[in-house]
Amino acid sequence: MMAGYHALVKQVLDGERSLADLPLDLRAEAEEAVRLVHAVDRAPVTLPAAVEERVMAAVREHAASPARRAWRWLHAPRDVELRLRIRPWMVWGGALTAAASLAILLTRPTISSSPPETRVASRDTVLVRFVLYAPGARRVAVAGTFNQWDRSAAPLVPAGTSGVWTTTLALRVGQHQYAFVVDGERWVADPGAPAVDDGFGRRNSLMAVTAHGGRVL
């Protein structure tokens, strides 16, 4: 390794100094170094023509592809110079803002975990009784906007063998559309309520729930 040679020996290898200029104790090392350097083959390297053709073909392929050029343009890392000029008042302003934010975070009152919406919702909920006379029905339910039209969410209970089915639901104040579902498949509008076209060829019953209870409106 060249790093192991004495500096004077390196000067001999570089042609800056002759062997005769060296001290006697370095001459053997210098002669060995010169011998190794002369042993290296310094003939010019010539590549086969096929290798040159292959390399140039690859270069031309890369240069001719717009997609590759665009991809390289998008992905090639670039040096970006970012100049930021900060004035002293900006530094002070930032520091004051950070301090104020921290003070607000540390001194704000603890938020109660009880959700107020729940209490409001309970005040706005009214019990409404649904009644349908359906003799011979095996099961009856009521479905509407208040239960996402789920035909199994609100079953009615038969009142003995009279054919009268009833249930009581807690509904939110507002206007609702609904229908009874008889035997799980037959949709029946409430005969005791106004009804409108449901858009599917059937009728939906209308009911408004107010603070006074369920009513026509």
Partner 1 sequence: MIRLRPVGLALLVMLPVSLVAQDVTARLAGRVSPEVRQAVAKIASDAATRGLPVDPLVEKAIEGAAKGVPADRLIAAVRALEGRLGDASAAVRDAGLTAPDGDVVEGAADALNAGLSASDVRDLVRVSHSPYDPALTLRVAATMAALGVPATQATELVEDAIRAGRSTAELMALPSQVQADIGRGATPEQAAQGLARAAAAGRPAVPPGLEKKGKPANPHRP
Question: Is residue 119 a contact residue for partner 1 (CB under 8 A)?
Answer: no
The answer to whether the Cα torsion of 46, 50, 51, 56 is positive or negative is positive
Stretch that binds partner 1, among 17-25, 61-69, 70-78, 197-205 (CB under 8 A): 197-205
Contacts of 209 (CB under 8 A, 6+ apart): 126, 128, 171, 172, 173, 174, 175, 176, 215
Question: Is residue 18 a contact residue for partner 1 (CB under 8 A)?
Answer: no
The answer to whether the beta carbons of residues 181 and 154 sit under 8 Å apart is no
* Pairwise CA distance, residues 160 & 62, whole Å: 88
Taking Cα atoms as reference points, which of 73, 77, 46 lies closest to residue 62? 73
Stretch that binds partner 1, among 3-11, 52-60, 80-88, 168-176 (CB under 8 A): 168-176
Rounded to a whole number of angstroms, the minimum distance from the CB of residue 87 to partner 1 is 22
Among 21, 32, 52, 150, binds partner 1 (CB under 8 A): 150
* Pairwise CA distance, residues 215 & 208, whole Å: 6
Among 60, 124, 163, 166, binds partner 1 (CB under 8 A): 124
Question: Is residue 187 a contact residue for partner 1 (CB under 8 A)?
Answer: yes
Residues 53-92 contacting partner 1, CB under 8 A: none
- Where do the DSSP E strands lie in the chain? 125-133, 140-144, 157-158, 164-172, 174-182, 186-188, 195-197, 203-210, 213-215
Question: Is residue 176 a contact residue for partner 1 (CB under 8 A)?
Answer: yes
Question: Is residue 141 a contact residue for partner 1 (CB under 8 A)?
Answer: no
Question: Is residue 196 a contact residue for partner 1 (CB under 8 A)?
Answer: yes
Rounded to a whole number of angstroms, the minimum distance from the CB of residue 177 to partner 1 is 8
Tell me which residues touch partner 1 (CB under 8 A): 124, 143, 145-146, 148-151, 171-176, 185, 187, 194-200, 202, 206, 208-212, 215-217
